[in-house]
Every structure is written in C-alpha cells, then in structure tokens.
Structure 1
Amino acid sequence: MQFRFSDQTITINMPDQAAVLAEITARLRAGRGFSLATINLDHLVKLRRSAAYRQVYAAQSLIVADGNPIVWLSKLAGKPVSLVPGSDLLLPLLRCAAAEAMPVAFFGSSPQVLGLAAKRLQHQVPGLNIVWTAAPPMGFDPTSPEAHRAVQQMQAAGARLCIISLTAPRQEAFAAFGHDLAPEIGFCGFGAGLDFVAGQQIRAPKWVRAIAMEWLWRALSAPRRLLPRYASCAAILPGQALDALRQRRQ
C-alpha cells in the first residue's frame, strides 16, 4: 500500500506483525538497526501539510499500518495489509529482544512513566534488559544537540533497541535521526505505548477495538483535543479512498 504526495511516496512495507517481527529479529542478529513508524490517519494529515515530515517518513526503514482506516484503504487499493498497532507490537517485540539478549532503551514520556513501565515490563518479560531510560523536556527538538547526546548515551549503555514514546512528528524525526547516528540500534516510535503499560493512559477495552471504535473511545476521553484531530482525519478520507481506487486499477 502506498500513499503518494507530490514529492514523496510512502509505502507500507511490512504487511503484518509476523513479518515485522521476523525482519526486526533478522536485523538485530545481523547487527543492523532500523527505524519503525506506525502510520495512521493523523500521520497522513500531517504528511499532507508538511514536506519536512514527508522526508522524515520516507527515511523510515519499516512502516506498518496503525489504524483500521489504513487497513480499509489498503484493501480498497487491492494491496491488503493487517492492523499492527504499536501498542500491540510492544510486548512481542520486547520478548524478541529478551530472547536475543538485546539490551533495550526507553526514551520519551516522563521519568515516572518510564520507571513504572520498566518495572512492569521486566516482570512480564523474563530476561528483558533495560539499560537506559530518559525523558526529554517540553519542547524537545528531535534533531538537536540534546537529541544527539541522548543517542550517544544509549549507545554507550549498549542499547540495541530503543522504544520511543513521543508524539508525532517528533517520534518519527527522532527515530530517523537516531538511526542515522547509531545504525546498529533499532528505533521504534510507539506513541503512548509505554503510557498504556504504566497506566498513565487507559486503552480502549478489547471489545471496543474489535468493532473498530477505539478512535471514539479516545475522542470521548479528551474531546477538546481529539475531536478536531479526528475531524481533520475524516476530511481526507474521500481523497485517500479515490487514490486507493486508482492504485487498484493500476
């Protein structure tokens, strides 16, 4: 599945969770890192508005579908992919890291969230080795000297996998920046994944996710912040559906 812009084409190159876990495991064993992005409609809105974000997204090594509308568009295009939310990928990915004895870093959110998430995840994933955590200040620039120092510190700690818990577009920018500086580390932008683990945010129940209504659950939890975002997402759907149909004909 591709999303085409005037200056870039963004391709979902990992069709499902099994494929992305196999690719990540192979890369870690070979001493190669990556940057992983989880594309959703909000990202598409930002991609349409920002050439800089399109360049950052085009630099990602691995891209999966995070959101049912992306999955529906892929089916409409005749290039179906499966839903792979970052929150669902977190535990299987950390189990892979533990099985391969790959040290892990956490970056983003807050010190309290990182500490609690680390404690809970080490209990859930035997052998998980978290060697470095850090929470950047408000207004963090993902390509600044401070970001450079963060990458150097996780390198010095021996990290091979970094879970990023920032908002878009900063997490994708930091993943691309970090991968350039430390090509042996895998950088994964999982948004609120660690906040869910720590209980800082509450994810929709499984039955709500099963009927593809997680977006409504989230919108009702913070309507002033999220309803305008979802309105922007809904506004681009007709154009994206037309482009998906063009891909199907091609």
Structure 2
Amino acid sequence: MITDELIDLMAEKCILNDDDFDAAVLDREPKRIQTVNLHHLALAAKSAEFARTIERADYITADGWPIVSLMRSRGIDPERVTGSEFIERMLAGRQFHGKKAAILGADRHVGDDFRGQLHDSGLHVVFRDHGNRRDWKAKRVAKKLQKYDVDLLIVAVTPPFGDMIGEEVRKAGFDGVVINVGGAVNMAAGHATMAPGWIRAMKLEWFYRLLQEPNRLFRRYFVECLPVFVKYVLPNYWRPARF
C-alpha cells in the first residue's frame, strides 16, 4: 500500500538527474535502481509486497511528471529520469565502454538486436536469459552473473515482476548494479516506438502510448492509475513545493 512513509523514502532515494543516474551505474557499488512511474504506484497501492520492493531499492528515479510532482512536494526538485533515456545514452556514448552486461527478459529476437547494439557501443554482453520467467530462480541467476563477473544487469521485464525479480537476484548475492527498465529494451531495439521529444516535453507521452496500444493500456491508465493519481498525486500537485 502507499503510505507517507513510502513517499518520503522515495524522496530520500530519488536520483535528481541523468548525470547522477549514470554516475550511480558507473561507480560499481552493488545497488538496484528502480525507475518509478504512476503505474508502479498503482501496483504498490494493491500490493504491500510490491510496495516493499520499491522501499528496498537503493535508488529510484521519477519516471514521469506525476512522480516529479510528488517528489517536489517532499522538498526535492528532480528531473524526469527514465530507463529508456538511460538506454539511449548508454548506446550513444562511450562512458560505459568495457562494462560487462547481462540482459534478463525481453524476447529472444529483441535480445539479439539489443546485444548487437550494446557491443557496438563497447559493452560486452556476457550473459542473457530470454526464457520463461516462471523458470527463473534468483539464486541460479545470481550465481551465473557472479560467474561471468557481470557489472550491470539490465532487467527488461515490466512491473511488478521485473522489479521483484531484480530485487530477488540482488538479495541472492549478485554484487553488481541492477537496473529495472521495463519495455525500454524493446524501444532501443526498434520493436516499440518512443514518443517524440516534443510530445514528452508536453507531458503527453502517456497519450501517445495509449494511441499505440489502446487495448492494453486503457485499463492501466484509467482504471488502475487514475484513482492513484487523484488520491496521491493531484493533492500534492497543487501544494507549494517545499524547496
């Protein structure tokens, strides 16, 4: 469930901008970074276990303007920091050159394309598993990651399962960096379309995605997320920021 304590804890762990996100990945200290959007809060409202998964992340990011508004009500002023834009930077730059990466999730053909992109950017994909997620055992996955000396585990599975398996793998002994990016790998590999920059600037990315996948997203946005937005985000949106 969503509590003031959960929101306060999110604010304490919130990464403020893209540069801080990249720095947290590069310092190699064991950690899990969870991007959080309104859908995550909707899931947390229904599941105490998933709310604890958010609490246990070492860092969170405000992935979407509703979460940015919520964080501002807690006295910080984060930028919108998304997993998809992190993947874009990772593929476009050379700051992650030489890192050993692993991919957990996504379809195999998507993983094939994404692996090639990572290699072109100087990352070495040393392990990946695109199998049935019901067959994943956290201890077994963590052991494989340790065997291949993985620096960065990219979890390409949508919430709640993606975030929860990422936390389980870390608890099972993986001492690298875990990043939950949901569908960002599909976008990077060209199997889904990211909203143009001007649409993101107008805070209409949700509408752009709804037009692309109305059958899948209508219920998520209007049945699951809208009540959470009205109850938790909207009151804080009109409240003066504390900073």
TM range (shorter): 0.7 to 0.9
Moved more, 157-166 or 147-156: 147-156
Contact kept, 8 Å, 1:77 with 1:247, in 2: the verdict is no
Within the alignment, does 1:242 sit opposite 2:235 as a pair?
yes
Contact kept, 8 Å, 2:139 with 2:173, in 1: the verdict is no
* CA separation of 1:23 and 1:7: change in aligned 2, threshold 3 A: closer
In 2, Cα distance between equivalents of 1:244 and 1:52:
27
Contact kept, 8 Å, 1:65 with 1:83, in 2: the verdict is yes
- Map of 2:18 onto structure 1: 17
- Map of 2:127 onto structure 1: 132
1:172, CA displacement in angstroms? 1.0
Within the alignment, does 1:178 sit opposite 2:169 as a pair?
yes
The CA RMSD measured in Å over matched residues stands at 2.5
- Map of 1:5 onto structure 2: 3
Q: What secondary structure sits across from 1:167 in the alignment? A: coil
In structure 1, runs of 5+ residues without a counterpart are: none
In 2, Cα distance between equivalents of 1:148 and 1:210:
41
1:77, CA displacement in angstroms? 4.5
1:244, CA displacement in angstroms? 6.3
For residues 21-170 of structure 1, what are the structure 2 equivalents within 5 Å?
A: 21-26=22-27, 28=28, 32-93=29-90, 95-98=94-97, 101-123=98-120, 125=121, 127-137=122-132, 140-141=133-134, 146-170=137-161
Give aligned pairs, total. 236
Instruction: For residues 121-141 of structure 1, give each alpha carbon's deviation from its aligned partner in whole angstroms, at most 9, with x where no partner exists.
Output: 322x1x21111111131xx24
Instruction: For residues 184-214 of structure 1, give each alpha carbon's deviation from its aligned partner in whole angstroms, at most 9, with x where no partner exists.
Output: 2111000111111221111122222221111
1:25, CA displacement in angstroms? 2.0
In structure 2, runs of 5+ residues without a counterpart are: none
In 1, Cα distance between equivalents of 2:176 and 2:242:
39
1:8, CA displacement in angstroms? 4.2
TM-score between both structures, scaled by the size of structure 1: 0.85
TM-score between both structures, scaled by the size of structure 2: 0.87
- Map of 1:201 onto structure 2: 192
Moved more, 237-246 or 38-47: 237-246
1:179, CA displacement in angstroms? 1.3
1:145, CA displacement in angstroms? 6.1
Moved more, 223-232 or 68-77: 68-77
* CA separation of 1:134 and 1:88: change in aligned 2, threshold 3 A: same
Moved more, 144-153 or 11-20: 144-153
1:248, CA displacement in angstroms? 5.0
The residue type equivalent to 1:5 in the other structure is T
